[in-house]
Amino acid sequence: MPQTPRKYCREFISRKQWGFSLLELMAVLAILSIVMAVVMTGVSQLQRKATNESQRVDLTQESRQFMDQIVKDLHHAGYPNARMFDAAVAAANPTYYGDGIMQLRPGYLQFEGDVDGTGTVSEVFVQLVPELGPCPCTLQRGSVSKAQWLGGVGPAYYTQVDNVMNTNIFTALHTDGTNAVMPCGPKPGTPSCADGNSIDFIKSVGLTLNVRSLNPDMPDKAYTTVTMSSDAKISNLKPN
């Protein structure tokens, strides 16, 4: 018997109103939750990796800038040399020339030279604070003209590297290739190193930095660290 139009419409509407059961909805939600958890975990890992890489790049750049600056400065230690002037002129005008390395310890360096090419001899200081630790420590650099220094004016320091983890920043070699035993100086009072060799015959200064990130990586609480070393040759040695 054929269906009446009214009965057919009721069945059509009933079929159109069919939907998912509660169990099916719960299964879909569970699958979506698992997918979202996997996606969010991956995003979080990528963010942590990007943060760690950014910290490493920043630490490397900061350390490299310090190394380049100090190596450049040390190449000018002792320049212009007193030998470039008449002896009487040099004796009467100590601000005309740089007297090279004045003091050297594992966490402290002082030297003289025209480091910026202006013709003015500067007194340059690099110090670890606190010098003997415990670290994390801060590396500071300060400078003042030699004329001001001899007049009693001290340097103004500014921070170059934070979170330094080692206290043996500086090492040195004598002209005979032996390691200088520190402390060396200060000049002009006691211009010798602890091994008896003169501070005037230090031919190169080594620099080592071990810098740690300020914040640890969240999953394993490990710090990002960067270790960097360099060497600066002293060009203006006194003659043997």
Q: The pTM is what?
A: 0.78
Answer left, alpha or beta for residue 196, where phi above 0 means left and psi between -120 and 50 means alpha: left
The answer to whether 208 and 44 are in contact (CB under 8 A) is no
| Confidence grade of residue 13 (pLDDT, cut at 50, 70, 90) | low
Q: pLDDT tens digits for 101-121?
A: 999 999 999 999 999 989 999
Q: pLDDT tens digits for 127-176?
A: 999 999 999 999 999 999 999 999 999 999 998 899 999 999 999 999 99
| Confidence grade of residue 17 (pLDDT, cut at 50, 70, 90) | low
Per DSSP, the residues of 187-235 read: TTT--BBTTS-BGGGEEEEEEEEEEE-SS--TTT-PPPEEEEEEEEE--
Query: For position 92, what pLDDT does the model report?
Result: 92
Rounded Cα gap, residues 97 and 76, in angstroms: 11
Average pLDDT rounded to a whole number, residues 201-228:
85
List of residues 6+ apart from 152 with CB closer than 8 A: none
Q: pLDDT tens digits for 25-67?
A: 788 788 888 888 787 777 666 666 666 667 677 778 888 888 9
The answer to whether 195 and 202 are in contact (CB under 8 A) is no
